[in-house]
Amino acid sequence: MNARRCSFLLAVFTWSAASAAMAGAGHVQEDIGRPGPVSAADRTIEIRMGDIFFAPTNIAIKPGETVRFVLLNEGSLLHEFNIGTAVAHAAHQKEMMSMFQNGTLSFTGKGSGMGDMSHAMGGMKMVGMEHNDPNSVLIEPGATAELVWTFAKNTRLEFACNVPGHYQSGMVGQIKVK
């Protein structure tokens, strides 16, 4: 194999690996649904969260149903409500860890980039990073937030907090779409 062909194959491999990594990092890569307007909500589900729990931990949704989630952070730590698959949560946890490591976020939500935060639908601008996936919202201690979501047919969904260590400590719930 000549050097030119090796360089080409290396470039293709590098591009493929980068593309796969980027696809894995997307939080809405599978058909889990889409954001919905409050006016289309079929019902409201209140989710309480604290240090380190969700209540309730299981919810049943019909395919095509639009749900308005009212999210109450009763704890003393920053929490996240993120709808996705286990694979998407694992990828997002790596991104969240980077945000904590660079000081953009802290466990109480008072990172250096918090001044530019807009909680509506998780729209947080960060230095070199964004926490603006439509299926996710960050909720500071003592705060309440909302997320409106129209569910697709995926039956393997979870709602989770991907703040470092929270998912692993059991801050995850099941969404049964049926």
Average pLDDT over residues 47-58: 96
Between CA 172 and CA 44 the distance in angstroms is 19
**Gyration radius of the chain over CA positions:** 18
Asked if residue 133 belongs to a domain, the reply is yes
Q: Kindly indicate the confidence band of residue 111, based on its pLDDT and cuts at 50, 70 and 90.
A: low
User: Residue 113 — φ and ψ, nearest 5°?
Assistant: -100, 10
pTM of the entire predicted model: 0.74
Residue ranges making up the domain that contains 132: 28-177
Task: State residue 67's pLDDT score.
Answer: 98
Encode pLDDT of 20-42 as tens digits.
Answer: 333 344 444 568 999 999 999 99
Q: Are 159 and 97 in contact (CB under 8 A)?
A: no
When divided into structural domains, the chain yields a total of 1
User: Quick one: pLDDT at residue 127?
Assistant: 44
Closest CA to 174 of 49, 87, 60: 60
The CATH number that applies at residue 105 is 2.60.40.420
Within a domain: residue 64?
yes
The string of pLDDT tens digits covering residues 153-172 is: 867 899 999 999 999 999 99
Q: Which residue has the higher pLDDT, 21 or 96?
A: 96
pLDDT in the model for residue 10? 32
Please give the structure tokens belonging to residue 129. Answer: 């990073």
Residue 14 lies in a domain: no
Task: Verify cis geometry, omega within 30 degrees of 0, for the bond prior to 35.
Answer: no
Quick check: is 154 in a domain? Answer: yes
Between 86-101 and 3-25, two packed helices, what is the crossing angle to 10 degrees?
100
Query: Does residue 12 belong to any structural domain of this protein?
Result: no
Structure tokens of 134?
A: 């439509």
Confidence grade of residue 110 (pLDDT, cut at 50, 70, 90): low
- CA-angle at 34, arms to 142 and 110, nearest 5°: 25
Q: Where are the beta strands (DSSP E) in the chain?
A: 33-35, 43-50, 53-55, 58-61, 66-73, 79-84, 124-126, 129-131, 136-139, 144-151, 157-160, 172-177
Local confidence band at 116 (pLDDT 50, 70, 90 cut-offs): very low
